[in-house]
Amino acid sequence: MSRRKLADLGLDLPLLPTSTVGSFPKPPELVEARAKAARNALTRGELDRLERRATEFWVRTQEELDLDVLVDGEQYRGDMVAYFAATLEGFASGGLVRSYGNRYYHKPVIVGPVRWKAPITVEWWRWTQALTGRPVKGMLTGPYTIMDWSFNDYYPDRRSACLALAREVRKELEALLEAGARIVQIDEPALSVRPEELGFAVEAMHTVVDGLPAYYIVHACFGAFETIYPGLLDLPVENLDLAISHSALDLLAMFEKDPFTKDLSLGVLDVHSHATESPDEVAARIRRGTAVLPADRIWVDPDCGLKTRTVEESRAKLAAMMAGVRAVRAAAAAAAGR
């Protein structure tokens, strides 16, 4: 693990640090409030109050579950790209497109030069961090995913749109670090969609993070990673967070062939399944990870954000995850003591 970097940043995390990927389900009253607010039937202030109450609920829940690195739960966000596009200049909100099943989102449209105008995530990060003594991750969407998940009516090609976005995402990162964030997760779920574009995706990530001190996690999920591995390791970040649980852990077989050189956040919960994993299942998935990587380079988290699950399902899944982690930690401690 990049323990030295974490130590330099003043962070002391246990073996197999636990975290979540970002989103938690919104409680029913907040879902209702957002719908009302969309119809202008609720004030911004009232919605904000409910968002903060839900955020505090999730902070306390994460503390109760004993997670090590917290998230704000994204109670104020809808879609991860549209949220950023709504604040960056140069975007217009597009119509609804389907993501899967009955899930739709407003796919943004780039209609002019993109420009960062003001901090987007900083106030929520600062407010959430003030609630807890545990570190809270800064959460950004990466430039490649913003580009890929937007329609482009302005830039001549995908590369120029991506690099323009990278320059603006960097400004948000600078603001986040200035506020005090030390661990920053950059979501790039689109990373594997066009393997021939990995080169400029890596270039864009350099533009975002080079020279800025933090522990960086890139989260990518539901992709065909075999097509961009081991090139993926060129990303200038410390930790790659990959969806593992429902892919029968075949990514780890790839690591046995081409050594994985970074820390790995091991997604051990299938966020699209209603079924709760057992602690034994979680422990088994972690052990598949520790079979190919040293345990001190592994973090443990769900596959993806939990927003598609219910509050109860999320808690149950995370409780199982923590029980599995505790079992593996205890076994490691016992082995070390022998």
Partner 1 sequence: MELILASAGSYPRIGDSFEAQRHRRAYAERERGAISEAEWREVEDETAIAVVREQAAAGLDVVTDGQVRWYDPISHLARHCEHVQINGLLRYFDTNFYFRQPVVSGPLRRLRPVLRRELEVARSATDRVVKPVLTGPYTLACGSILEGGYRSRRELARAYADVLAEEVADLAHAGVALIQVDEPELLRHPEDADVVRDGLARLAAVRGRAHLALYTYFGDALPVWDELMTMPVDIVGLDLTYGPKLADRIAEGGAPKMLALGAVDGRNTKLETAETLFRVLDRVLPHVRGPVALGPSCGLEFLPRARARAKLETLVRLARAYTDRAGRTA
Tell me the torsion sign for CA atoms 163, 164, 169, 170: positive
**Residue 96 found at the interface with partner 1 (CB under 8 A):** yes
**Residue 249 found at the interface with partner 1 (CB under 8 A):** no
What are the angstrom distances between the C-alpha of 153 and each of 82, 110, 200? Answer: 16, 6, 20
Interface positions, 106-145, toward partner 1 (CB under 8 A): 107, 109
Among 4, 10, 45, 95, binds partner 1 (CB under 8 A): 95
**Residue 83 found at the interface with partner 1 (CB under 8 A):** no
**Residue 270 found at the interface with partner 1 (CB under 8 A):** yes
Among 24, 116, 124, 149, binds partner 1 (CB under 8 A): 149
**Residue 102 found at the interface with partner 1 (CB under 8 A):** yes
Region of 57-65, 90-98, 274-282, 325-333 interacting with partner 1 (CB under 8 A): 90-98
Question: In this structure, are residues 18 and 69 in contact, taking their beta carbons and an 8 Å threshold?
Answer: yes
Beta-bridge partners for 176: none
Among 49, 60, 98, 274, binds partner 1 (CB under 8 A): 98
The 229-248 contact track toward partner 1, x by CB under 8 A, reads -----------------xxx
Which is nearest to 277 in space by CA: 302, 255, 260? 302
By CB under 8 A, name the binding residues for partner 1.
94-102, 104, 107, 109, 148-149, 151-153, 190, 192-194, 222-224, 246-248, 270, 272-273
